[in-house]
A and B are shown apart, each in its own frame.
Chain A
Amino acid sequence: MIKYCLSAAMLALGLAGCSAEQQDLRADGLVYCAEGAPEHFNPQRVTSGTTIDIISQQLYDRLLDIDAASGELRPALAKGWQSSADGLVYEFDLRHDVQWHQTDYFQPSRVLNAEDVVFTFNRIMDPEHPFHFIGGGIYPYFQSVDWASLVKQVSAPEPYRVRFELSRPDSSFLSNLATDFAAILSAEYAAQLLAANAPQLLDSQPIGSGPFIFREYQKDVLVRFYQHPHYWRGPAAMQQLVFDIVPNNARRMAKLLTHECDVIAYPRLAELALVTERPDVKVQESTSMNVGFWAFNTQRPPFNQVKVRQALALAINQRAILQAVYFNQATAARSVLPPTSWAFNQQLATPEYNPQAAKALLAEAGLASGFNMTIWAMPVQRLYNPNALKMAELIQADLAQIGVNATIVSYEWNTFRRKLTEGEHDSVLIGWAADNADPDNFFRPLLSCAALESGSNRAQWCDPVFDRILNQALLTDDQLQRRSFYLAAQQYLQTEMPLVALAHSQRIQAINSQIEGVTINPYGGIALFSARRVQP
């Protein structure tokens, strides 16, 4: 038969399939073309959106979920929860029917219980925990929200009941549990790995309770998942889910048009108009909580002077950037917080483009003759910054107007981030996508002193006044009161200008018209649980 097929293929150069079977396998599988490779398979240790998109919603569950429409919390692994009057103790009732993944490397003997939750969070908090230092002991998200000092203890008073004791009330606590980073891991699997003396496999051969089961990862080529038949929400519509890793934008688009990809991440905005004309492709747009910004290394002169930072902010033409880089698929930013947030400060002045005023400020700072600086442009495309290199060129030209000579610097992405964390930059074009609906998520991970330590503070900015405002905002549950603190925080940022917020972008997916049910959480990764193929 193969021989027949081979000669047939040679004749027709393989134009059409020899059989209908090919159709079947394709009908039950979904190919998502991702813009990058996952770093590993444990959401606790990740900050990159690419990795979160691939692993988080697919492999794992969280105690709580965020409702995509309203931004409110809703039950997930936890059926319900209670908090004490003083806001220091939270208790969660877990579901009894959550099955772990069954694979060739792990056969679970029990369902998910409180032990797993305790294991998950102790790994992050407890330096004595056997898994704490696996992978370097770095949990960027949790460190940026100061988790270790916030949570005193996690315990399991009953098999399906988890108790969190906090050291201070924190109104963003529940939101943190609902982020993609707070995925629940299996304690039983961890114990098995520990016994086999291979604890590092926990993050590379994952076991979760989510809708898909990990099958294989071919480095920089693809990630393959299969359906989890005993998923507690019911099995996913697709039998197989493959993440094809295609970093090149044009190639990803080409693969969508040739139907090699069903869904592509981050289509180039410039090509959207072209794509919308085709009947076999649709474009899905959704609001996303993110911000693209230009951060100054405030520990380096001359960027340690407020006047210099303000001058640079005045010197750039934000409108031109929105047009050339975002193709107007974004809102002009006035603050790091997007205008859709309840804590957004409407009183903030719109950013101004005024090279004369910028020059005057530089002169006041004693730098009338200008200076040399570097602009680091991230080498990858992100929602919040689809083309950092182009943006850097625009800013470079703007800065030349006020006598500042800027050089553009870029490295391969991993190197880039490592060097940023080490603070080798003068300024950097990068951004942030929110992990939960809480406004705190825009301030603390980006600009607090704790974030400086965990390495996500790109401005290298640590200001006690600002930190105090953030901390006070967390002490109360009263939204009006919290709002007043965040308004003050935004006002403070506008005068201090550790970073210039540039744009809040829409998240856009290009999808094959046959595919339905792809959902995007505005606060996190893509969910492919209910994605299915419908015949048009």
Chain B
Amino acid sequence: MINFLLRRLFLLGTVLFGLSLLAFSLGYLFPGDPLQNFSGIRQLEPQLRAELTAAYRLDHSYLSQYLAFLNRLWHGDWGLSLASQQPLLSEIRQVLPATIELTSYALLVSFLFGVPLGILAAIKPEGYLGKIINTITVAGYSLPVFWWALLLIMVFSVGLGWFPSGGRLGVLYEIPTVSGFMLVDIFLAETPYQQAIFLDALRHLALPTVVLATFPTTVMIRFVRDAMLEVWEQNYIKTAKAKGLSRLQVLYRHGLRNALLPVIRQIGLQFSALITLAMLTEVIFSWPGIGRWLLDSIYQRNFPAIQAGLMIISVLVITVNMLTEILHTFFNPLARKR
């Protein structure tokens, strides 16, 4: 296991190295002045320019510049946003929790609905229930997320007025940011309206979570269903059945555990698709997350922000991937030997 962990960590290191190299070269590859791309300072007075050139070692070799770049990253100096002239790291700290919050609820929903539905579909694959679930899955899988989101907004918020059309919380509720996670912050806030605000936050969460969960849920259903069907054919299941265990017991003790193992891995693989979908969802629902922030930055030609945003999102995706892989291996001794 230790050996495996070390190998993974080495791989992580290599990927991060490549990523930082790419991020660094973006400073030169983006149009405009590299010094401005790195620092994000809009008004570069001659004196400041000289100081920064020295600090960033821009008059030295690329290697030396890259090391200085790494050093800055490490010390949290990620430069300023060209648009707002605020430190990028603090901006990211504000928007990233919103994305993580939305994504994890969507993952949770996809897990809570995907797994049972997948099992249901697997019990009698040719039965009515199996076919219905299958049809819904194919439909959900092929739904373009922006169209689906707009449809839900049209029906449930503009038409029926049940849910707000966007945002994280009714704007009249003032909740101080502590953790950046809305539900946690509401819990921490001292306000007589806590309960009403909590409900309001849930109402804001409903539609984006449904939209974002649609794709992973359908993937999860199909995956669990296929895994279950495969496991169902295994000899140990037949043995268990022959021993006289009831259908439910076989399903739970022997089927589910083995079928769910690859699902853990699936979460990691789904994560990058999920982040991409989250960006679209955030834009449509005005969710103040990193996806919307990054798209705004692209529109504003805010190169330092694009650089930092890409880096953060890639690191996030890679880390989650790696973690689920490690978790998968931890639960599955067979995989360690591979």
B158 at the interface (CB under 8 A from A): yes
Which of A19, A26, A255 touches B172 (beta carbons < 8 Å)?
A: A26
- B226 interface residue (CB < 8 Å to A): no
- Which one, A2, A15, A31, A257, contacts B171 given CB within 8 A? A31
Asked if A14 is at the interface (CB within 8 A of a chain B CB), the reply is: yes
- Bound state CA distance, A251 and B287, in angstroms? 13
The answer to whether B172 touches A25, judged by C-beta atoms less than 8 angstroms apart, is: yes
Does B79 belong to the interface (CB within 8 Å)?
no
* A14 engages B153 (CB within 8 Å): no
- Judge whether B195 is part of the interface by a CB distance below 8 angstroms: yes
Contact B172 A246 (CB under 8 A): no
Measured between beta carbons, the chain B residues less than 8 angstroms from A15 are 162
Within 8 A of A (CB), among B156-170: 157-158, 161-167, 170
B203 touching A14 by the CB < 8 A rule? yes
Using known A-B contacts A13-B206, A242-B171, determine if residue A220 contacts B296 with beta carbons closer than 8 Å.
yes
Question: Do residues A246 and B157 form an inter-chain contact, with CB atoms below 8 A?
Answer: no
Task: Assess whether B286 is in contact with A251, with CB atoms less than 8 Å apart.
Answer: yes
| Contact assessment for B196 and A242 in the assembled complex, using a CB-CB cutoff below 8 Å | no
A13 to B202, CA, bound (A): 8
The A interface is mostly helix, strand or loop, or mixed, namely mixed
Other-chain contact of B165, A9, A21, A26, A258 (Cβ < 8 Å): A258
B101 CB within 8 Å of chain A: no
Identify A14's interface contact among B86, B157, B206, B299, CB under 8 A.
B206
| Cα distance, A29 to B163, chains bound together (Å) | 19
CB neighbors of B among A216-257 (8 A): 216, 218-222, 224, 240, 242, 244, 246, 251, 254-255, 257
A residues near B200, Cβ cutoff 8 Å: 22
Secondary structure at the B interface, as helix, strand, loop or mixed, is loop
If A18-B195, A220-B296 touch, whether A254 touches B158 (CB-CB below 8 Å) is yes
Give bound CA distance, A415 to B31, whole Å. 15
In whole angstroms, what is the CA distance A258 to B162 when docked?
Answer: 9
Select which of B83, B84, B162, B167 is within 8 A of A260 by beta carbon: B167
| A221/B288 in contact, CB under 8 A | yes
Interface residues on B, range: 35 or more
Complexed CA–CA distance, A111 and B72 (Å):
48
Q: Is the CB of A6 within 8 A of B198?
A: yes
A257 to B155, CA, bound (A): 12
A25 touches B157 (CB 8 A): no
B193 proximity list for chain A (CB < 8 A): 21-22, 25
Q: Please, which residues of chain B bring their CB within 8 A of the CB of A255?
A: 165-166
Contacts of B171 in A (CB 8 A): 31, 222, 224, 242, 244, 260
Contact A254/B157 with A21-B195, A222-B171 known, Cβ cut-off 8 Å: yes
- The one of A1, A222, A246, A251 in contact with B195, judged by C-beta atoms closer than 8 angstroms, is A1
Residue pair B195, A415 in contact (C-beta under 8 Å): no
List, in ascending order, chain B residues with CB within 8 A of A271's CB. none
Task: Quote the shortest CB–CB distance from A265 to chain B (angstroms).
Answer: 15
Q: Name A219's contact: one of B84, B158, B165 (CB within 8 Å).
A: B84
Contacts of B202 in A (CB 8 A): 6, 9, 14
B166 A25 Cβ-Cβ under 8 A: no
Q: Report the minimal beta-carbon distance from B208 to chain A, rounded to whole angstroms.
A: 13
B86, B173, B174, B300: the one within 8 Å of A412 (CB): B300
Whether a CB of chain B sits under 8 angstroms from the CB of A17 is yes
Q: Chain B: which residue is nearest A261 at the CB level?
A: B171
Q: How far is the CB of B44 from chain A (nearest CB, A)?
A: 14
Residue ID in chain A nearest B302 by CB atoms:
A412
Please indicate the chain B residues that have their CB under 8 angstroms from the CB of A13 in the complex: 162, 206
- B194 interfacial by beta-carbon distance below 8 Å: yes
Bound complex: CA A222 to CA B167 (Å) = 11
Chain B residues, Cβ within 8 Å of A251? 165-166, 286
Q: Are A260 and B299 in contact (CB under 8 A)?
A: no
Q: Which residue of B174, B194, B296 has the most chain A CB atoms within 10 A of its CB atom?
A: B174
B189 to chain A, nearest CB (A): 12
Bound-state CA distance A260–B162 (Å) is 12
Known contacts A25-B172, A31-B171, A222-B171, A5 near B165 by CB under 8 Å: no
Q: How far is the CB of A271 from chain B (nearest CB, A)?
A: 12
Docked CA distance A1–B167 (Å): 25
A14-B202, A21-B193, A251-B286 given; A259·B161 CB < 8 A = yes
**Chain B 201-228 per-residue mask, 1 if CB under 8 angstroms from chain A, else 0:** 0110010000000000000000000000
16 more contacts with CB within 8 A, not counting A22-B196, A254-B165, A259-B161, are A2-B194, A5-B195, A6-B202, A9-B198, A15-B162, A18-B199, A26-B170, A215-B174, A216-B174, A220-B296, A242-B172, A251-B165, A251-B166, A254-B157, A255-B166, A415-B301
B→A interface (CB under 8 Å): 83-84, 86, 153, 157-158, 161-167, 170-174, 187, 192-196, 198-200, 202-203, 206, 286, 288, 296, 299-301
